[in-house]
Amino acid sequence: MTGITGYFDNNYLLPETKTGQEATYTKDVLVDADALVALAKTNDSNHQKAVKLSNKLQKASIVYCFSPFTVAEAATVLSYKTSHQSAKKFLKQIRKLDIPILELPEKHKNLTDNWFLKQKKKGTSYFDCYNMALLDRYQKQLVAIFSFDSIYKRNNFKLVEDLIF
């Protein structure tokens, strides 16, 4: 299981609470697959940065949200970059966390296409465009995206590293 930590065994994507107390949620953050990969893969170039950001977000009682594609995309990347066994371990661990899934209602499905059509760079990910559609549609709920992909900044979305804690 080269490069995979037990990071998700410890519920690092859940807000910290004191024993016997419920967490008070004030903000939501959309999590991109690249952040999950960075958290899980110890030799990822963004691993240390992802761990630090995750720790800060926990202390701020941030609620994490996924798109319907986030976990599948991260598991696929981990299967390619580490091993299929590591990807399976990640999948089992992440599913235990029961992170809320944000999905576009049927009447707003075209938002993803619109974001994709606006992009000019080769290699644009349709899944990143789905995330941008979510960020756009749920802008009052989502304060930022936990990602290291430059596409979000280029399209004027706030990254968690831009948040002031």
User: Is residue 22 predicted with pLDDT exceeding 50?
Assistant: no
Residues 69 and 127: beta-carbon distance below 8 Å:
yes
SS3 of 65-134: the string is: EECCCHHHHHHHHHHHHCCHHHHHHHHHHHHHCCCCECCCCHHHCHHHHHHHHHCCCCCCCHHHHHHHHH
Tell me what pLDDT residue 99 has: 93
The CA distance from 11 to 29, in Å, is: 16
- What pLDDT is attached to residue 26? 52
Answer whether residue 37 shows pLDDT above 90. yes
Instruction: Please report whether residue 4 resides in a domain.
Output: no
Of the pLDDT bands very low, low, confident and very high (cuts 50, 70, 90), residue 3 is very low
- Give the structural domain span for 29: 25-160
What type of residue is 16?
Answer: E
- What pLDDT was estimated at residue 119? 98
Mean pLDDT of 98-124: 95
Domain total in the chain: 1
pLDDT for residue 60: 86
7 lies in some domain: no
| pLDDT value, residue 62 | 87
Report if residue 9 sits inside a domain: no
> pLDDT digit string (tens) for 64-109?
999 999 999 999 999 999 999 999 999 999 999 989 999 999 999 8
CA–CA gap between residue 165 and residue 152 (Å, rounded): 20
What's 55's domain CATH number? 3.40.50.1010
Res. 4: pLDDT tops 70: no
Report yes or no on 146 lying in a domain: yes
More confident residue, 39 or 12: 39
Query: Residue 10: inside a domain, yes or no?
Result: no
Q: For 19-64, give the secondary structure using H, E and C.
A: CCCCCCCCEEEEECHHHHHHHHECCCCCHHHHHHHHHHHHHCCEEE
Q: Phi and psi dihedrals of 31, rounded to 5? A: -105, 125
Q: How confident is the model at residue 164 (pLDDT cuts 50, 70, 90)?
A: low
Terminal-residue alpha carbon distance, the chain: 34
Residue 14 predicted with pLDDT over 90: no
